[in-house]
Amino acid sequence: MKNYLTLSHALLPSLLLGLFCGPCHALELGETVLESASVVGAQLQLINSNGVCTLIHQQNGSTTRLALVPQPPCFFLRAGIAGQTTPQYFAYPKVSVKATLIVAGTLISEERRKKHGIVADHLCGGVMQGILLSRNNIAVSADVLASGIACRDTGRDEKDFWFFAHAKQHKN
């Protein structure tokens, strides 16, 4: 009698992810990857963790999970350059920040989209939160911006990044 290895359909995606995505974090049941990026030596993933936008940070062999305020789908803001896939970020050495990124989410309503003339294929949210990478640490801003609109591929003015880099932080 032969012994066969049988894989559950539920386990197959995790197995494949582990084989082809070594630095990626293993997901739990009910989680989906929304975006991944590598910024100043850190591997970052935004995931939808059962309705909560969560940032997974991997650097120097350690992994940190941080719940964020924007609701899924959440996304990194990009510089607004055609074909750009790397998140937009700025460094602020005077406050020991190697990279400040902005995550947006909490999709805007169709009414608000029409009011501001935003085309249907732009992913836009109404809540932004700062992610701060320092030498060997990551922090999220305690403050959020919730009065504007942020679209993934249109970039953001540097003053918003400065605001988050200098705002109160939730330490990891």
pLDDT at 170 > cutoff 70: no
Q: Record the tokens describing residue 159, joined without a space.
A: 């003053």
Q: Record the tokens describing residue 46, joined without a space.
A: 């935004």
Do 60 and 66 touch, CB atoms closer than 8 A?
no
Distance CA 29, CA 62 (A): 21
Per the DSSP assignment, residues forming a β-bridge with 35 are 46
CA atoms within 13 A on the CB side of 89: 22
pLDDT of residue 60: 86
Helix (H, G, I), strand (E, B) or coil at 78: strand
Q: How confident is the model at residue 171 (pLDDT cuts 50, 70, 90)?
A: low
- pLDDT tens profile 28-59: 888 999 999 999 999 999 999 999 999 999 98
Query: For residue 148, what is the enclosing H or E element?
Result: none
- pLDDT tens profile 137-147: 899 999 999 98
Domain range list for the chain: 12-171
- pLDDT tens profile 76-106: 999 877 677 899 999 999 999 999 999 999 9
Nearest to 135 by CA among 88, 95, 79: 95
pLDDT of residue 169: 76
Per the DSSP assignment, residues forming a β-bridge with 103 are 76, 129
Query: For residue 63, what is the enclosing H or E element?
Result: strand 62-67
Q: How confident is the model at residue 16 (pLDDT cuts 50, 70, 90)?
A: very low
How many residues belong to the chain?
172
Q: How confident is the model at residue 14 (pLDDT cuts 50, 70, 90)?
A: very low
Q: How confident is the model at residue 18 (pLDDT cuts 50, 70, 90)?
A: very low
- pLDDT tens profile 156-167: 999 999 999 998
